[in-house]
A and B are shown apart, each in its own frame.
Chain A
Amino acid sequence: MKALHWLDENAEKVLLVLLSSVMVIVIFVQVFMRYVMQNSLSWSEELARYCFIWAVYIGISYGVKKQRHIKVDVLLLLFKDKGKIVFNIISNLLFLAFAIFVVIYGYRISEQLLAFGQKSPANQIPMGLVYLAAPFGMALTSIRIIQNLIAQCKALMGKGSFDPKTEFEKLKEE
């Protein structure tokens, strides 16, 4: 239970810090090797790029957890709290639909590409693993959206609390 709670809090964060650190270190070493050591690396750029792709899709999930995705929510300002929650639920359901689509079809193409066996040029990483980033990240995202949806439905029924404020209103309070 405790482990689950820790994962809920930190899963994306740990992965993001790990992937970002690899990206920074690897590219910095690349510059250092080429400029100072006069010896260019062939594997660094590719490795950093694949870490980047994975970081983006895990970051999308983190963005849902932190409710930080860029959206146009001026229309929401017209509604009272309950209306806002309903809107939020609709928006979340649409997001969830997209995420599930990517999980299913993104997994399908990763699987096909893995079967064909294409490898990356520099590090010989199976390309299917690179494409797996999207379905993996969107699977995490789906979990986060469902968590939000549960909180929103509870709030709609008057149980528990969910903050339906728009980005704009949140900023105003800071």
Chain B
Amino acid sequence: MTSAVLFGTFAIFLFLSVPIGISIGLATLVTIIYSGFPVDFLTKELVTSIDSFPLMAVPFFILAGEIMGKGGISDRLFRVANALVGNKTGGFAIATIITCMFFAAISGSGPATVAAVGGIMIPAMVRQGYDKRFATATVAAAGSLGVIIPPSIPMVIYGVVGSTSIGDLFIAGVIPGLLVGLALMVYAYFHSRKKGYTGTGEKTSIKLIGKAFWEAKWALLIPVIILGGIYGGIFTPTEAAVVAVVYGLLAGMLLYREIRFSDLPKVIADAALTTATILIIVGTATAFGKLLTMEQIPNEIAAWMLSISESPIVIILLITILLLIVGCFMDTLAAIIILTPILLPIAVNIGYDPIHFGIIMVVNLAIGFITPPLGVNLFVGSGISGLSIETLSKSIVPFFLAMLITLFIVIFIPPISLFLVEMMK
């Protein structure tokens, strides 16, 4: 009954278009009153839940992303990708995906990746003769890489909620991220061949590629600093994010000279705003999750799932389907905070490594960025291109399938996630 009140009121508030974090907070409040709990629990949890140093990687990675976004970096990254593959069939589409992958190694967010890359690449692809629907779908799908390739805000949240190492999650996301990118490129290539999207026709050479790389060097160094710093024993993920901020500022102000000192207040305030809109969800969803725990609901769900089948394959498939459905309707971070305490123990029970399971969850929920009705990447893509959500939802289907296939590969071949982690040991 309690869970009915909790989830029922949450759905109602959500559909009344109350902000997600507040919807969760109100639902928790109603349930607390319903079950005779002291309300102080909720107000205290609002602060306690965000009192976490690892969680502070979120604002810093957002700030780093904002600074990079201002510094004309997407453009330079694209020139590298274009020098590599631009003259081949489907070259612009593939270069767009590669640009997303580069940008994903700087940004920790899916929608931010779509916004940064799409703004330049959708018009560019259209000018090159690509169908606008295909162009937008390409960016919306590849934008999901923002959370699979490290750094990744959902991984930070999963690490905090599931008490697993954020550094390990980051490294575990590298190969799955490359794999998802590859799957998207494969589809983009065959689609382009069918539609006759030829390359730019420009000649390329090692010299040109080298020049493009050189011009983008300050941006391409960021992932090296972040992962190298964490795995070189210099700093923790949160500190890495701060170093990325400082580095981005220096690069943007001194090297590229595209950020002025007077721009800083706006950049910082914007990043703080984005942070707050995410962290209010963390605050209330953590309280929501704890209330579930205290009402014993995760145990009931776990017992029920484990009673359905003895087979780990059946159970992981059930979890996958659940996450895909949740991904259609719920915000990624809220889903991670609420579901991790429920699903992680089940996954561990059937033999999954917590790091591997974290990657499964993140890849799965990254697919949720492109599934309607709540598909944030679709919204952003639609905003940039002017196409309707309905139109986009259709052209995204093949990309969705490509990601789904990769998800299953990630689920059933653990070394894809764990190989690099093991190697670092």
Majority DSSP secondary structure for residues of A touching B: helix
A147 to B69, CA, bound (A): 32
B423 at the interface (CB under 8 A from A): no
Cβ B16 vs Cβ A87 within 8 A:
yes
For the complex formed, measure the closest distance between the CB of A102 and the CB atoms of chain B, giving whole angstroms.
6
In contact, A90 and B16 (Cβ under 8 angstroms): yes
Contacts of A68-101 to chain B: CB distance below 8 A: 68-76, 87-88, 90-91, 94-95, 97-98, 101
Residue of A nearest to B378 (CB): A168
Are A63 and B40 interface neighbours, CB within 8 A? Answer: no
Chain B interface size band reads 35 or more
List the A side residues contacting B374 at CB < 8 Å.
72, 74
Q: Are B52 and A31 in contact (CB under 8 A)?
A: no
Per the 8 Å Cβ criterion, residues 105-134 of A in contact with B are 105-106, 108-109, 130-131, 133-134
Let me know if A94 and B51 touch, CB within 8 A.
Answer: no
A63 touches B276 (CB 8 A): yes
Give the interface SS of chain B, mostly helix, strand, loop or mixed. Answer: helix
Check if A109 sits within 8 Å of B43, measured CB to CB.
Answer: yes
Residues of the B chain whose Cβ atoms lie less than 8 Å from the Cβ of A70: 19-21, 277-278, 281, 331
- Cβ proximity bits A4-38 to B, threshold 8 Å, 1 near / 0 not: 00000000110011011101100110110001000
Asked if A172 meets B383 with Cβ closer than 8 Å, knowing A27-B242, A63-B273, A102-B46, the reply is yes
Question: In the assembled complex, how far is the CB of residue A12 from the closest CB belonging to chain B, in whole angstroms?
Answer: 8
Q: Is the CB of A16 within 8 A of B269?
A: yes
Evaluate contact between A171 and B384: CB separation under 8 angstroms: yes
A interface, how many residues as a size bin?
35 or more
Q: Select which of B26, B52, B265, B272 is within 8 A of A49 by beta carbon.
A: B52
Chain B residues at the A interface, C-beta cutoff of 8 Å: 13-23, 25-26, 29, 39-40, 42-44, 46-47, 50-53, 55-56, 59-60, 63, 234-235, 238-239, 242-243, 245-246, 264-265, 268-269, 271-281, 283, 329, 331, 373-374, 379-380, 382-384, 386, 389
Q: Which A residues form the contact surface with B (CB < 8 A)?
A: 12-13, 16-17, 19-21, 23-24, 27-28, 30-31, 35, 45, 48-49, 52-53, 55-60, 62-63, 66, 68-76, 87-88, 90-91, 94-95, 97-98, 101-102, 105-106, 108-109, 130-131, 133-135, 167-168, 170-172, 174
